[in-house]
Amino acid sequence: MFDAVSNANSAGAEGLLVNNPRPGVALVTINRPERMNAIDPQLNAALERVLQGLGANADIQCIVITGAGDRAFCAGAHIPTMLPHLAETLSEGTDDPQFAGVTHRAPSGKPLIAAINGVALGGGLELALACDIRIASVTARFGLPEISVGILAGAGGCTRLPRSISPALAAEMILTGTPIDADRAFKCGLISQVLPACELLNAALDLAATIASRAPRAVRACTELLRRQSRRDLAPALAEEREVFASVMATQDAREGIEAFTQKRAPRFQDA
């Protein structure tokens, strides 16, 4: 076990498992299956630390991210804790838009593979969208349900999704919050492979091992070129998205939507 993984395993108590299942490959597992692998502020910070550590480790050439269990890759932000935290940092002027260690600043020049083993909703889809390669199980579902709680996908979802699939389908997903299944995600180009659930992780690790076996400098160069193309003019668009997110988070409807979600009742939006 190499140092980055040894150090990263200290994040286990914060909901992460990290190991080295193939030469040159790190596997990062979001380990909160009882919460559908939703991300709270502590786990959010742990992901950033772990991914930066793996990015700095010369023994690692490719990183796979997945979720524990068979129901969820990541259900996004843990609404009862993450959204109040965001509201506080936005009001204090200390907001950092980075989510899950990937959405606004790449942790390294090494390729990231999302092995999507169940639902990828809200911030979970934003995490997947920030990865270089996405493959999924037949049970995967993809969506941005933030609209249903009176907010929007402010960690790259409203910006990256229309760049990844047809604008019409992206608009349908963003404005309704309705998810799509793995078959439709594959057909629209959101993911590159759909696999039986029992085959997904090995397929992702094999893919990562193939990448890790290539010349490291060439892999990093190709990754940078691919990201440069997909992220052309992305930074100002993400900044504008975050400004709009902040303004929506300050509304009464956002407060009502979050409260209704935690109380497990239908929200009563008032356009306020």
Burial (CB count <10 Å: 0-12, 13-18, 19+), residue 217: exposed
List Cβ neighbours of 36 (8 Å cut-off, separation of 6 or more): 71, 72, 74, 75, 118, 119
- Four-way CATH pick for 3-198+213-263: 3.90.226.10, 3.30.360.10, 2.60.40.10, 3.40.50.1240: 3.90.226.10
Q: What is the pLDDT of residue 6?
A: 47
Q: What is the pLDDT of residue 13?
A: 55
Residues 247-272: tens digit of each pLDDT = 999 999 999 998 999 899 999 999 98
Residues 6-65: tens digit of each pLDDT = 444 455 557 999 999 999 999 999 999 999 999 999 999 999 999 999 999 999 999 999
Q: Please give the positions annotated as active site.
A: 126, 146
Q: Mind giving me the DSSP string for 91-146?
A: HHT------TTTSSS-S-SS-EEEEE-SEEETHHHHHHHTSSEEEEETT-EEE-GG
Domain boundaries, the chain: 3-198+213-263
Angle subtended by helix axes 234-249 and 79-92, to nearest 10: 100
Residues 209-252: tens digit of each pLDDT = 999 999 999 999 999 999 988 777 899 999 999 999 999 999 99
Residues 179-218: tens digit of each pLDDT = 999 999 999 999 999 999 999 999 999 999 999 999 999 9
